[in-house]
Structures are given as structure tokens and as C-alpha cells.
């Protein structure tokens, strides 16, 4: 265990089986939160993460929930909150990346991307806020592509993360009066399955720090935002990109 800044907090994390989401689950749990997380298909990875957290003395539970199914996501959040009595932290980390130029990428890819990266964030926040009170935190995982699309083939994904940035501001306004903060963490290139190694050398050349981010580094920022020292931050998009945008 790390510190105990999140002791007794109930957290729901979408897309927690791999990559950045898994690092967020680990970090929240290590700081004392009870974590319920979703995955789409990686059951073995999800089970292994639950076992890892449990072995270290933390609490985590995995649910197979397709974020593209808003009703299923809503039901899962309602059930988690009913079981725990409330919800303190929601992290929307599930995301998909479909690359392709507007010359070729079909409308079905647009719909799939927006279903998971945008619609599910709206559905998740709508469901979670019903179970939240003063001091609760909502953290979306957007991307620096909301601010800069550096390569061809990124229009749809960038648009989805731009929507997350804009919704974050709107949610912060909607929920601020109830003492609920809403923020958007925008990672730069980070070492996960979404970011295959054949791109790494090219990406490194664009980063001030000359390396990609590690999922744990994103997890640390998310946990801090969920903690007591970040209560005056809301509606913000925080860049964590090793100087990619510098």
C-alpha cells in the first residue's frame, strides 16, 4: 500500500483491465479505495488484476460491461453503488482508437468511437452522479489529441477526445454546486497496447523528455485528482505528456 489518502472511498473505473485503466485501478486501490472496474473482453487480465490487488491487501472487483451499451453501463454503476451504499470516484478510462483518413474511414468507425469514447462518458457520469455527494470526484481520460492532431488519420479519435474535454467543462458546471469535481486528464503518448512499439521512436522525437509516458504516471495524476489535495480543481483538462505539446 502507498499512502491512505483514498481510504474508504468507493471508485468505479471503466476499462480497467489493461493499460492506463489498469494502472489507475492499482493506484486507487493502493491508496485505500475499493475499486470496481469494467472491461470489454480481457477476462483473464481483469481477473489477474483483481488477484494482484487483493494479494497486496487492496480491494478490487471486475465486471464485464461493454461501454458501448449505455444501459448496461448504467445498470453496472447503479448495482455497484447499491452494493457499496454510494459512489465517491468515477474514472472514465475505457477508450478505443480507430485510425484512418476521412478519405477511407467509414461512418461505422465514427459511431463505434463515439459510442465508447463519448456516449459512454455521458452515460457513466449521468448514472454515477445520482450516487455521489459533496467531495466526490469524476475524472475522464481524454487525450492531448484534443489540442493537437499531429498526424493524418486522427480526425475521429481527436474529435471524440475534444468532446470529452468540452463535456468535462459542462459537467463541472452541472455538478459543482453539489461539491462534485469533474476533470479531464489528457495523456500524451503512453506505453500501452493502444500505442504499438513501432511508433515509439518517431513519437519519442516529438517529446521534450524523449520518452513515452508510463501508465503508472497517469494513474498517479488520476489518484491525486481524486484525493483531498485537489478539491479546488474542476472543469480542468490536465496535460500529462512529457512535453509533447511544449
For this structure, is 157 an active site residue?
A: yes
Residue 46: name the closest of 55, 37, 54 by CA.
37
* Residue 143 or 237 with smaller CB distance to ligand NDP: 143
Which residues contact ligand NDP (rule: CB under 6 A)?
14-21, 38-42, 45, 66-68, 93-96, 116, 141, 143, 187, 189-190, 192-195
Q: How far apart are CA 49 and CA 59, in angstroms?
A: 11
* Residue 45 or 232 with smaller CB distance to ligand NDP: 45
Catalytic residue among 122, 157, 199, 244: 157
Smallest distance from the beta carbon of 178 to ligand NDP, in angstroms?
26
C-beta of residue 8 within 8 angstroms of C-beta of residue 32: yes
* Residue 6 or 49 with smaller CB distance to ligand NDP: 49
Smallest distance from the beta carbon of 232 to ligand NDP, in angstroms?
25
Smallest distance from the beta carbon of 201 to ligand NDP, in angstroms?
15
Smallest distance from the beta carbon of 93 to ligand NDP, in angstroms?
5
* Residue 25 or 87 with smaller CB distance to ligand NDP: 25
Q: Which phi and psi (to 5°) does residue 62 adopt?
A: -110, 140
* Cβ-Cβ contacts under 8 Å for 77 (sequence gap 6 or more): 12, 87, 90, 124, 127, 128, 131
Cell of 122: 455521458
Residue 61: name the closest of 92, 85, 29, 89 by CA.
29
C-beta of residue 167 within 8 angstroms of C-beta of residue 175: no
Residue numbers annotated as active site: 157
Amino acid at each position: 500500500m502507498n499512502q491512505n489518502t483514498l481510504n474508504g472511498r468507493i471508485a468505479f473505473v471503466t476499462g480497467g483491465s489493461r493499460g492506463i485503466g489498469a494502472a489507475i485501478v492499482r493506484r486507487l486501490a493502493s491508496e485505500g479505495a475499493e475499486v470496481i472496474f469494467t472491461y470489454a473482453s480481457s477476462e483473464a487480465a481483469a481477473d489477474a488484476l483483481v488477484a494482484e490487488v487483493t494479494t497486496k491487501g487492496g480491494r478490487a472487483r471486475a465486471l464485464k460491461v461493454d461501454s458501448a451499451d449505455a444501459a448496461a453501463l448504467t445498470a453496472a454503476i447503479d448495482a455497484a453503488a447499491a452494493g457499496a451504499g454510494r459512489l465517491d470516484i468515477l474514472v472514465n478510462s475505457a477508450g478505443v482508437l480507430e485510425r484512418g483518413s476521412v478519405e477511407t474511414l467509414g461512418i461505422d468507425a465514427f459511431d463505434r468511437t463515439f459510442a465508447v469514447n463519448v456516449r459512454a462518458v455521458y452515460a457513466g457520469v449521468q448514472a454515477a452522479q445520482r450516487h455521489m455527494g459533496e467531495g466526490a470526484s469524476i475524472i475522464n481520460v481524454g487525450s492531448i489529441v484534443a489540442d493537437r492532431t499531429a498526424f493524418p488519420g486522427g480526425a475521429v479519435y481527436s474529435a471524440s477526445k475534444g468532446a470529452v474535454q468540452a463535456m468535462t467543462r459542462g459537467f463541472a458546471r452541472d455538478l459543482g454546486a453539489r461539491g462534485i469535481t469533474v476533470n479531464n486528464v489528457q495523456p500524451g503518448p503512453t506505453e500501452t497496447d493502444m500505442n504499438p512499439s513501432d511508433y515509439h521512436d518517431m513519437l519519442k522525437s516529438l517529446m521534450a523528455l524523449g520518452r513515452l509516458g508510463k501508465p503508472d504516471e497517469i494513474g498517479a495524476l488520476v489518484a491525486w485528482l481524486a484525493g483531498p489535495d485537489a478539491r479546488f480543481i474542476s472543469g480542468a483538462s490536465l496535460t500529462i505528456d512529457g512535453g509533447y505539446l511544449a
